[in-house]
Amino acid sequence: MAINADIDDKQKEAAWAFIKWLVSKPIHKEFNLQGAGSFMRISQMTDPDLTAKFDFLPVVAKVYENGNGEYRPRIPQYPEIQDILGSAVNSVLAGAAEPQAALDEAQAEAIKLF
């Protein structure tokens, strides 16, 4: 989520109010219960309602404990590279591409960004 710098102050305030509402504990939990969110709050990894519905949350919690949050390169092209790689991996998982071919194509697309 972001707030556009080119909007007036009233719109910025409204955008900020929406962001705070959406990521508040009760709303974000409901959002996740409906399968529409992402599990970004550590407190949600042990929430009984969420863990009953999403049995993978304890594994995600372990990743949060042991993972490195600074794994991705801090370069302007990263969001596009992430999309390219995500599409490649998803196409392999869906059976639409072979792993090596999908990664070769992703590499060719990523190189164009530089």
- Give residue-wise pLDDT tens across range 77-87: 999 999 999 99
Do residues 49 and 20 share a domain? yes
- Give residue-wise pLDDT tens across range 87-99: 999 999 999 999 9
Do residues 20 and 61 share a domain? yes
Do residues 58 and 86 share a domain? no
Do residues 13 and 61 share a domain? yes
How many domains is the chain built from? 2
Domain assignment present for 50: yes
Do residues 51 and 17 share a domain? yes
Domain assignment present for 1: no
Domain assignment present for 43: yes
The whole model's pTM is what? 0.54
**DSSP readout, 51-111?**
HHH-TTHHHHHHHHHH--TT-S---TTHHHHHHHHHHHHHHHHTTSS-HHHHHHHHHHHHH
Residues (pLDDT < 70) of the chain are 69
Domain that holds residue 102: 78-111
pLDDT of the residue at 35: 84
